[in-house]
């Protein structure tokens, strides 16, 4: 069998399985965790940016007030994480 055809068949089966899992809601916790990781990284980048502007963490702002941290908390509560 041609390797290209075999690879195409395997890819199609994988895509169908992931699509079915997404549609049924099985992937919601996984998507929530991934979103939380990205938003926490965004919050840490914002904190470093604020620190680069001369603000000191704990004196001029609270880490919880950074928009990325709020978004991560919202995603976590939405998915029950």
pLDDT tens digits, residue range 32-50? 889 889 888 888 888 787 7
SS3 of 38, please?
Answer: helix
Model confidence, pTM: 0.52
Percent of the chain scoring above 70 in pLDDT: 72
DSSP state, residue 30? H
pLDDT at 48: 81
C-alpha closest to that of 72 among 30, 28, 33: 33
| 72 touches 40 (CB < 8 A) | yes
Residue 16 scores a pLDDT above 80 = yes
SS3 content of the chain, % helix, strand, coil (to 5): 80, 0, 20
pLDDT at 47: 79
- Please state the rounded mean pLDDT for residues 18-35: 90
Backbone phi, psi, residue 30, to 5°: -65, -45
pLDDT at 23: 92
pLDDT at 77: 72
């Amino acid at each position: 069998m041609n390797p290209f055809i075999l690879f195409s068949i395997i890819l199609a089966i994988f895509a169908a399985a992931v699509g079915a899992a997404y549609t049924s809601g099985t992937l919601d916790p996984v998507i929530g965790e991934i979103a939380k990781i990205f938003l926490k990284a965004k919050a840490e980048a914002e904190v470093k940016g604020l620190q680069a502007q001369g603000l000191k963490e704990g004196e001029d702002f609270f880490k919880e007030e950074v928009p990325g941290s709020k978004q991560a908390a919202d995603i976590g509560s939405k998915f029950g994480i």
